[in-house]
Structure formats: structure tokens, C-alpha cells
């Protein structure tokens, strides 16, 4: 299995001048430090791919030993195209995540045992900024978007696509608009019935996407406990 970390964006909502993945959480360790540390334990350093763009030299300088792919159009594209860049020449099961997520390593213990394509989710109420999901009567994800009015909870930004679904996923990432999130490609595949996407409920394991200063404060408080 390969892991792809999306770290190309500008991080404007956190009002940071550096890549958001380099935000320091505790004792000088960044979000990316924790992500790499947790993934290395489970799948090995050589299987981690970082997609870079905004101020890429800062990430390359800090982690010179990693495998990198570049989204050269990071200023005008969204996560769908960053993920597409990361998937180049990959043809196996993948786990991917946004570069602004802190997660307990127990998340990987449950995700890496999955035999189906899946999204990590919770059952909490969501605001406008969260990516939301909806389930069908069989328990599969039937909707995946920020625009959902009704939802069953939040999609947390860590996902698995197994090899048999990867070709269709790549094609859909190519076809969606440049400004679309990768969730749009997943949603299109769900609608066209080319994929069955399972929800993987996180339970009480800690996982937080750091979009705003309050999110950062919550993660720091968790780490300080």
C-alpha cells in the first residue's frame, strides 16, 4: 500500500505563510512530522508520497528523504488535481489524507485492515465548512460533499481506495473541474454506481482537520493531555 499526503495548498484559512502541514503542534513537531511518523510505523517510509506545491522547498528541505510529486498548478487547482499528481505511476491500494490532519495512530490500525474502499467518518453534526456524508439503506455512502443539507456526519479527510477501484478513480479525478475537491470524484463514482464506498466510523479515536485557529488549539490541547 502507498500513502499520499496532500500538502500543496496555500492554507489561507489558517492565515499561515508556510505550508499548513508545517504548522508546529508540540515540542517543535509539525503536523507532517506526526503524519510521517505514524505512517512509517505501519507501511514504511519508502511507501509515503508527499504532493507539494506552495513553498515546496520548505518541505523538501525538512524531509529530504521522502518521495515527492508536484502539483505545479497548486494556485489554480484544488485537491482533486493534487491527488491526481500523487497517483501518477501508482497501481496498488492507497491511503491518502490532507496535509492538515492530526490523527491518533490508532486510526491506521483500523483503516489498513479494510478490504474495501472507504472513508473515515464520524457521526457528529457539521457546519458549512465540513465535508459531509450521507448513507443509503445498505450502509454505504450515497452522498459526499460540503453542500449536503442533510448528513449523517463528517468525512474526516482520510480515505482508502483499493486497487480494483483505482483506475475509475483516476479517470474521474481527471474529469472533474480544476477547483473541485477530490470528494467530487468520489461522489461522481457513487452516483454512477462505479464504486461502493464504505464508511469507517472513528468512534472515540482522535482525529482533527486543522482549518482554523480553534482547530489548532484543540489539537494542541489534546497533545498536552
Does 58 score more than 90 pLDDT? yes
Domain count across the chain? 1
What's the whole-model pTM score?
A: 0.95
In this predicted model, what pLDDT tens digit does every residue of 148-191 receive, in sequence order?
A: 999 999 999 999 999 999 999 999 999 999 999 999 999 999 99
Q: What is the dihedral of CA 57, 62, 67, 68, to 10 degrees?
A: -20
The pLDDT tens digits of the residues spanning 10-45 come to 776 666 788 999 999 999 999 999 999 999 999 999
SS3 183: helix
Find the distance separating the first CA and the last CA of the chain, reported in whole Å. 32
Say how far apart CA 166 and CA 116 lie, in whole Å.
12
At 108, the pLDDT band (50, 70, 90 cuts) reads very high
Q: What pLDDT sits at residue 15?
A: 67
The pLDDT of residue 221 is: 96
3-class SS of residue 98: strand
The domain that holds 161 is classified in CATH as 3.90.550.10
What is the per-residue pLDDT for 14?
63
Percent of the chain with pLDDT over 90: 90
Could you tell me if 29 and 223 are in contact, meaning their C-beta atoms sit under 8 angstroms apart?
A: no
- Give 46's DSSP letter: G
Tell me the residue range of the domain where 175 lies: 2-224
Amino acid at each position: 500500500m502507498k500513502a499520499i499526503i496532500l500538502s500543496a495548498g496555500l492554507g489561507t484559512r489558517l492565515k499561515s505563510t508556510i505550508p499548513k502541514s508545517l504548522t508546529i503542534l508540540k515540542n517543535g513537531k509539525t503536523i507532517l512530522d506526526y503524519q510521517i511518523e505514524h505512517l512509517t510505523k505501519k507501511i514504511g517510509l519508502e511507501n509515503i508520497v508527499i504532493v507539494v506545491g506552495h513553498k515546496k522547498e520548505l518541505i523538501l528541505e525538512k524531509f529530504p528523504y521522502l518521495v515527492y510529486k508536484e502539483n505545479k498548478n497548486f494556485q489554480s487547482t484544488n485537491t482533486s488535481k493534487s491527488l491526481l499528481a500523487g497517483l501518477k505511476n501508482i497501481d496498488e491500494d492507497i491511503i491518502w489524507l490532507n496535509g492538515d490532519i492530526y490523527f491518533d495512530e490508532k486510526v491506521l490500525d483500523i483503516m489498513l485492515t479494510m478490504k474495501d474502499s472507504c472513508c473515515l467518518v464520524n457521526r457528529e453534526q457539521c457546519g458549512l465548512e465540513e465535508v459531509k456524508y450521507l448513507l443509503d439503506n445498505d450502509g454505504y455512502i450515497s452522498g459526499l460533499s460540503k453542500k449536503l443539507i442533510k448528513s449523517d456526519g463528517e468525512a474526516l479527510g482520510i480515505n482508502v481506495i483499493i486497487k480494483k477501484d483505482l483506475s475509475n478513480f483516476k479517470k474521474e479525478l481527471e474529469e472533474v473541474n480544476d477547483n473541485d475537491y477530490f470528494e467530487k470524484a468520489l461522489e461522481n463514482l457513487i452516483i454512477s454506481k462505479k464504486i461502493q464506498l464504505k464508511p469507517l466510523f472513528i468512534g472515540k479515536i482522535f482525529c482533527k482537520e486543522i482549518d482554523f485557529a480553534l482547530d489548532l488549539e484543540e489539537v494542541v490541547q489534546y497533545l498536552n493531555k
